[in-house]
């Protein structure tokens, strides 16, 4: 029985290189160490492997070949284990608000290319994604006060403004409006619309934020839009006369994760790519934390904690 598989390395090097001196130079030991370790191996297996002056015995050559085969097998196993450990695979349930989808196309495309074993299941919701039941693995939402039961990363601040085509923006006071319908009219955006949009100037009501954007870009009316989305449509201009009235609508965009998933490689991979793209799209004023944060239940603020990122 072989008591030390390490002794096989010395026999294998001697058999392959032909001399104890060459084997010692490769392994970084003296030639005497080669002989001593081979002798220890012979004592373990119960038969001679090396005869001085004659070289490796037939049984010794078989044992050296076993050492090579074993070494290659162990190296292959270690490489596969490393690849499996580093490979990002499996589903991630991602929830976000209706209307933020255009910001997600580029990062999700990159994830698809870089991680072919990763699948992102996107759920669009009208309410706060963190309040889904069952909860998502990862959520992108707009909140001033993130839920205390989550860890999160604040990516950027979403600002809102009133936008329309150039033709409608030329006469903002007479322009007709596109507004949100139920249940979105109960949101903070809906409340703003009820306070600032005359009912007689409403041209269209929709429960789809995507349709809302399409109607505004088509010239059906002006509407309240996130600045980050409106800037992707050169046909739209901001009605600056509403800027002061809409200033209070800005909200931080948060990526929220259940605490038990904060170090999951799937989650940290998606967070890294989303953070890169969304920070890039927000311009140079984004100075938010680079780590996930624990949301404090009393102050609703977040303290930076260590987390994989």
CATH 3.40.190.10 matches 90-154+258-304 = yes
Model pTM score: 0.59
Q: Say if residue 305's pLDDT is above 60.
A: no
Residue of 282, 284, 278, 226 lying closest to 103 (CA atoms): 278
pLDDT of residue 218: 95
**Which two structure tokens, joined as six digits, stand for 304?**
């930076």
Average pLDDT over residues 69-80: 66
Q: Say if residue 288's pLDDT is above 60.
A: no
Residues of the chain with CATH 1.10.10.10: 6-86
Three-class SS state of 2: coil
Q: Say if residue 134's pLDDT is above 80.
A: no
Give the pLDDT confidence of 225-267 residue by residue, as tens digits: 999 889 889 999 999 999 999 999 998 888 888 888 888 989 9
Domain 160-249 is in which class? Answer: alpha beta
Q: Say if residue 112's pLDDT is above 50.
A: yes
300: phi > 0 → left, psi -120 to 50 → alpha, else beta; which?
Answer: left
pLDDT of residue 289: 33
CATH code given to domain 6-86: 1.10.10.10
Q: Say if residue 84's pLDDT is above 60.
A: no
In whole angstroms, what is the distance from residue 110 CA to residue 112 CA?
5
Q: Say if residue 83's pLDDT is above 60.
A: no
Strand partners, 138: 94
Give the pLDDT confidence of 9-46 residue by residue, as tens digits: 888 888 898 888 998 898 889 989 988 988 888 888 88
Buried b (16+ CB within 10 A) or exposed e, 133-158: eebbbbbbbbbeebbeebbbbbbbbb
Residues of the chain with CATH 3.40.190.10: 90-154+258-304, 160-249
């Amino acid at each position: 029985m072989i008591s030390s598989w390490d002794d096989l390395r010395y026999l294998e090097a001697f058999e392959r290189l032909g001399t104890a001196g060459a084997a010692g130079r490769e392994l970084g030991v003296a030639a005497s160490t080669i002989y001593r370790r081979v002798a220890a191996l012979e004592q373990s297996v119960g038969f001679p492997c090396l005869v001085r002056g004659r070289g490796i015995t037939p049984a010794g050559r078989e044992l050296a070949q076993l050492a090579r085969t074993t070494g290659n097998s162990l190296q292959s196993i270690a490489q596969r284990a490393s690849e499996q450990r580093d490979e990002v695979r499996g589903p991630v349930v991602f929830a976000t608000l209706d209307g933020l989808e255009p910001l997600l196309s580029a990062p999700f495309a990159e994830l698809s290319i870089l991680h072919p074993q990763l699948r992102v299941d996107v759920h669009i919701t009208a309410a706060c994604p963190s309040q889904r039941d069952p909860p998502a693995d990862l959520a992108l939402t707009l909140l001033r006060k993130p839920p205390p039961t989550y860890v999160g990363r604040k990516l950027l601040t979403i600002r809102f403004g009133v936008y329309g085509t150039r033709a409608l923006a030329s006469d903002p006071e007479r322009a007709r409006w596109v507004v949100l319908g139920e249940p979105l009219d109960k949101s903070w955006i809906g409340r703003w619309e009820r306070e600032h949009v005359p009912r007689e100037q409403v041209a269209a009501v929709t429960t789809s934020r995507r349709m809302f954007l399409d109607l505004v870009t088509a010239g059906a009316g002006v509407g309240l839009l996130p600045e980050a989305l409106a800037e992707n449509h050169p046909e739209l201009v901001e009605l600056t006369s509403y800027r002061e009235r809409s200033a209070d609508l800005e909200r931080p965009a948060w990526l929220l994760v259940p605490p038990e998933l904060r170090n999951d490689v799937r989650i940290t991979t998606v967070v890294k790519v989303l953070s890169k793209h969304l920070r890039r799209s927000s311009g140079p004023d984004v100075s938010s934390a680079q780590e996930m944060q624990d949301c404090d239940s009393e102050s609703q603020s977040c303290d930076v904690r260590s987390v994989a990122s």
